[in-house]
Structure 1
Amino acid sequence: MKAIAYHKFGNTAVLQTVEQPKPSIKSNEVLVKVKAFSINPMDWKIRKGEMKLMSGSKFPKNTGADFSGIITDAGSSVSGFNIGDEVFGVVKNMMKEGASSEYVAVSASLVWKKPASINFNQAASITVVGTAAVTAIEKMGKINSKTHILVNGATGGFGMFLLQLLKQRGAYVTAVTSTKGVEFAKKWGANAVIDYSKENVLLQKATYDIVIDLSGKMGYKNAKQIMMPKSIFLNVTPQPIEIPMSLLNNLFTSKKQIVVLSNPGIKYTNVLSNALINGLDIEINKVFPFDQTKEAYQYAEKGGYIGKVVVELN
């Protein structure tokens, strides 16, 4: 089967189309013919070697984590799925595995039936950012209409899910986005929108109970300027050293930094499935064919787009 792999850390130039054996399955696994996989920032952080403490340096590596497709085989202990089922899911360990291939073998606990209301490209975009959004909301604690939340970089894939889920919980949300993202932020539930090309949120007088930086550009040090005395900053793009450092720093300040690490599972997918039933919007910005995976990553890594970027397989 064809797969996208790389044999050393680096930029998109290291990505290659290779031939790999079709994976065999264990008794608790399903084999999925991949129809699409989505692109996430963690993909290139791993590929560039920024996460090598967790990913290791064993090659080759595949890229991509979440996918959609059709089950073509199921292990002897798998129940609840049949050959031909349309599903979406995620690889078990995105630090060491990838979904960028014609077939993936994964535990049946990491795939879910695709709702008929969405297509394969949309389904492939759910698991990583959707789980991260649900996890981030868990970290926020009790929120209501009096909770003022700032979402910086609000209209990428993560923000798309987060804004809509926060709207369902009634929080007062201010979204920071580009000019082209303003209308999307409003549609997805933001109460107020700041166009960063026209206003600097750090120079405004408003302060927030919760600041979550999805762009990775604001950082905790800057965010403290606009945080209330007792507030939290959610770090969704931590460097490995920031995980222990945040715990230490929190001992000495009421403006807490909380690292968000997510792990897909059934409780998160149930939340997302219910959100889909209630009209969750999944915006696909651009779809690339499999033989243009390198170009897809080049496009995605430039940033500035709305929603998700997806690679589609025949």
Structure 2
Amino acid sequence: MKAIVQRRYGSPDVLEFTDIDQPTPGDGEVLVRVYAASVNARDWHVLRGDPYIARPSADLGLRRPNVTTAGTDFAGRVEAVGSSVTELKVGDDVYGEAPRAFAEYLVVPMNRVAVKPANLTYEQAAAIPLAANTALIGLRDVANVQPGQRILINGASGGVGSFTVQIAKAMGAEVTGVCSTRNVEFVRSLGADEVIDYTKSDFSRSDRKYDVLLDLVGNRSLTALRRPLVRRGTLVLSGGGLFSGGSFFGPVGLIVRAKLSAPFVSQQLKLLTAVISKDSLATLRDLAESGKLDPVVDRTYPLAATADAIRHLESGHARAKVVITV
């Protein structure tokens, strides 16, 4: 089968479009024929091996990636099921999040896959898992957002940000998004009540106060991020943006400072870590099928041009999601 393989760290030029063996599902797994996959900031960080401090991890390796087939998000059709699988059957349209998604076929554990939203194309469904799950976990589980709360989203036009705006509105929050001039109308179209153009106004210096601030960029100091919060507000740090890379620590430095400061401030300083699950995929499917979550696809690329898709993402000009068609 065709796949995108990464054998070393570097620019998108290190990605190979090549043939590899088709996988076979084991117990509790399904084989998916992938029709679409999406690109995330995570793929950029894995490609670069950035930040360096994260290299001794499951996907990254000290000198080369541990997982050589790239990609995470996918949508497709079940081709085979392993023993003990009863929730899905051959022919089901599915979506989810699992390593090695930039390939024609993918083996997925049952806790990482679910029936895809019926009203979405494969391309739209593939845009959801990692980014929308991050938004859902950040708002619902980490920040415990309540109806009527004022939410500020730094990085509202990106992959995670575009979903965060929509999910926050679905939860009844009053949403302010921060983005560049070219994306102001786009963020407003997602449902934001207010949009701040960071090229013209510094949200950290505004007199307006917020109950929750989600930082999806990692380009501000901890002091600047805390300043617009109410006294007992909540700061949620994602650290998954493109602009926090290129160093030994990357966003880890900001996260460490937040952890060290947390016991001494009235505000809650929290780290966003999002793990995909069948339950969260089901929740996101319900939001999509009810019309409250509309994935926006900026551009699509064929599998062979995955390197170009990642170049577009790391240019910083991608709006919402970039999708690979397989």
TM-score above 0.5: yes
3-state SS of the aligned residue for 1:189?
coil
1:30 equivalent in structure 2: 30
Q: 1:128 aligns with which of 127, 130, 140?
A: 130
Equivalent in the alignment of 1:87: 94
Partner Cα distance (2:260, 2:78) in 1: 46
Partner of 2:56: 53
Match of 1:112 in 2: 114
The answer on whether the counterparts of 2:36 and 2:324 sit within 8 Å (CA) in structure 1 is yes
How many pairs does the alignment contain?
307
**Aligned twin of 1:94:** none
Cα pair distance change 1:243/1:179, threshold 3 Å: closer
Structure-2 change in CA distance of 1:200 and 1:240 (3 Å): closer
Partner of 2:288: 276
Match of 2:143 in 1: 140
Give the structure 1 partner of residue 244 of structure 2.
none
Cα distance in 2 for partners of 1:53, 1:122 equals 33
For 1:13 and 1:254, how far apart are their aligned partners in 2? 47
Residue 168 and residue 139 in structure 1: after superposition, are their counterparts in 2 closer, same or farther (change >3 A)?
same
Q: Relative to 1, partners in 2 of residues 1:213 and 1:219: Cα closer, same or farther, differing over 3 Å?
A: farther
Deviation of 1:240 after TM superposition, in Å, equals 4.4
What is the one-letter code of the residue matched to 1:32? V
Preserved contact between residue 62 and residue 98 of structure 1 (Cα < 8 Å): yes
Alpha-carbon distance between aligned partners in 2 of 1:199 and 1:247, rounded to the nearest angstrom:
28
Give the letter for the 2:86 counterpart.
S
C-alpha distance in structure 2 between counterparts of 1:309 and 1:224, whole Å = 31
Superposed CA offset, 1:181-206 (max 9, x none): 22222222211111222222223222
Contact 2:96 2:281 in 1 (8 A): no
The alignment status of 1:285 with 2:287, answered yes or no, reads no
Aligned-residue offset at 1:60: 5.6
* Structure 2: runs of 5+ lacking an equivalent: 241-250
Supply the distance in 2 between the matched residues of 1:306 and 1:173 (Cα, whole angstroms). 19
Residues 30 and 105, structure 1, Cα contact 8 Å, conserved in 2: yes
Q: SS of the residue aligned with 2:259? A: helix
Q: Does residue 248 of the first structure (1) align with residue 251 of the second (2)?
A: no
2:82 is aligned, of 53, 75, 81, to 75
- The Cα offsets for residues 59-113 of structure 1, whole Å up to 9 and x where unpaired, read as 462221110111111112111222122111111xxxxx32111111111232111
SS across alignment from 2:192: coil
Aligned alpha-carbon RMSD (Å): 1.8
> What is the 5 A alignment of 1:1-314?
1-50=1-50, 51-54=54-57, 55-57=59-61, 58-59=65-66, 61-91=68-98, 97-137=99-139, 138-145=141-148, 147-237=149-239, 239-240=251-252, 245-279=257-291, 280-313=293-326
Structure-2 change in CA distance of 1:162 and 1:60 (3 Å): closer
Unpaired segments of 5 or more residues in structure 1? Answer: 92-96
Runs of 4 or more consecutive aligned structure 1 residues displaced over 6 Å after TM superposition: none
Larger CA deviation: 9-18 vs 257-266: 9-18
Q: 1:232 to 1:202 in 2, by over 3 A?
A: same
Deviation at 1:255, TM superposition (A): 2.9
Moved more, 21-30 or 200-209: 200-209
Is 2:222–2:257's contact at 8 Å kept on the other side of the alignment?
no
Structure 2 residue matching 1:228: 3-state secondary structure: strand
Identity percentage over the alignment?
A: 30
Q: Hey, what's the Cα distance between the residues in 1 that align with 2:256 and 2:227?
A: 23
Contact 1:213 1:219 in 2 (8 A): no
Instruction: Give the partner amino acid of 2:106.
Output: V
Which one scores higher on RCO, CA 8 angstroms, separation ≥ 6? 2
Mapped partners of 1:56, 1:156: distance in 2: 24
TM-score, normalized by length of structure 1?
0.92
Deviations 1:242-281 (A, max 9, x none): 5555333211112332110000112212221221122121
Q: Is the 8 A contact 2:157 2:320 kept in 1?
A: yes
